């Protein structure tokens, strides 16, 4: 069962056909009636104006942020779309892996911003995200679940990296809070003769559990409250819903595993930076 690429909404092999392996892909592969034209994109600006208007009317102080965010999203997505078009046609697997590496670096930077003051937070987050994404994607590739085509690796890898980034951010924020607010508890365990890992273990478990709960809850209600993005995209592309759910099941399980690995690695790396050679808890700067 291999996740390939949608071609004219016809499923021929595995989850989705890989009939575009040659790379000759055009916009005609997706029913045009399901894709908004640029005029539709322009019309959707009304929704941004509505959001900014509500913010201004309510004196929330975020109207400018809404407009800037909308403009950034437009520019970034157009730029990424152009880059991906080139990547899919010319860069090959190596280009896809380089693109995913860039995603990991950006994800590590963003996740570390939630843990200011934590020693080597960016390196810790980047390591956790990289290992989580590599292990998950590696297993899917080894078992032949996903194709090695760039147009499969990049979007699937992007979902994994995004999920890992969120997990790493929550874990680091939790560990930072522990180092700041629950320092006496950790030091008391150290004073009783416990090693650094044993003294910190209850807080590590709490941080990992907190980080994993959103992914677990999302998996519990998938399809009941909302249709996930991967499944929605396939259905819009003309794929039979029963086929689309197979793709989505793989995605949900993939995100669960990636999150668990990321949380584990992030906490282990953070432990090494939070304690010195004498197994004393380092000071963490507050905001």
What is the share, in percent, of the chain residues with pLDDT greater than 70?
Answer: 85
How confident is the model at residue 184, as a pLDDT? 75
| Spatial CB neighbours of 84, under 8 Å, sequence gap ≥ 6 | 154
- Are 112 and 173 in contact by the 8 Å Cβ rule? The answer is no
Q: How confident is the model at residue 182 (pLDDT cuts 50, 70, 90)?
A: confident
**In this predicted model, what pLDDT tens digit does every residue of 110-151 receive, in sequence order?**
998 878 778 888 999 999 999 999 999 999 999 988 888 888
How confident is the model at residue 165, as a pLDDT? 95
> Please, what's the b/e burial string for 189-222 (b: 16 or more CB within 10 A of its CB; e: otherwise)?
bbeeeeebeebbeebbeebbeebbeebeebeeeb
**How many Cβ atoms are within 10 Å of 5's Cβ, its own excluded?**
19
**In this predicted model, what pLDDT tens digit does every residue of 69-83 receive, in sequence order?**
999 999 999 998 898
Q: What is the CA radius of gyration of the chain?
A: 22
CA distance 141 to 135: 10
Q: How confident is the model at residue 247 (pLDDT cuts 50, 70, 90)?
A: confident
CA distance 23 to 194: 58
């Amino acid at each position: 069962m291999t996740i390939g690429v949608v071609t004219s909404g016809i499923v021929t092999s595995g989850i989705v056909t890989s009939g575009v392996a040659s790379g000759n892909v055009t916009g005609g592969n997706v029913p045009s009636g399901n894709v908004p034209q640029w005029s539709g994109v322009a019309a959707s600006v009304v929704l941004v104006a509505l959001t900014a208007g509500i913010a201004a009317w309510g004196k929330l102080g975020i109207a400018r942020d809404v407009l800037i965010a909308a403009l950034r999203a437009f520019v970034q997505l157009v730029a990424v779309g152009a880059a991906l078009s080139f990547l899919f046609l010319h860069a090959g697997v190596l280009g896809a892996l380089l693109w995913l590496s860039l995603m990991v670096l950006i994800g590590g930077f963003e996740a570390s911003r939630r843990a200011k003051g934590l020693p080597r937070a960016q390196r810790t987050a980047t390591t956790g995200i990289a290992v989580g994404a590599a292990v998950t994607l590696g297993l899917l590739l080894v078992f032949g679940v996903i194709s090695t085509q760039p147009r499969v690796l990049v979007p699937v890898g992007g979902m994994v990296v995004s999920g890992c980034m969120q997990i790493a951010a929550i874990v680091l924020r939790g560990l930072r809070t522990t180092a700041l607010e629950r320092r006496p508890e950790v030091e008391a365990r150290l004073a009783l003769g416990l090693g650094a890992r044993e003294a910190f273990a209850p807080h590590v478990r709490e941080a990992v559990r907190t980080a994993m709960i959103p992914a677990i809850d999302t998996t519990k209600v998938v399809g009941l409250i909302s249709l996930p993005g991967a499944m929605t995209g396939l259905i819009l592309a003309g794929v039979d819903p029963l086929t689309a759910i197979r793709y989505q099941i793989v995605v949900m399980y993939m995100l669960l595993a990636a999150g668990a690995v990321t949380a584990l690695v992030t906490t282990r790396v953070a432990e090494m930076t939070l304690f010195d050679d004498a197994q004393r808890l380092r000071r963490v700067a507050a905001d």
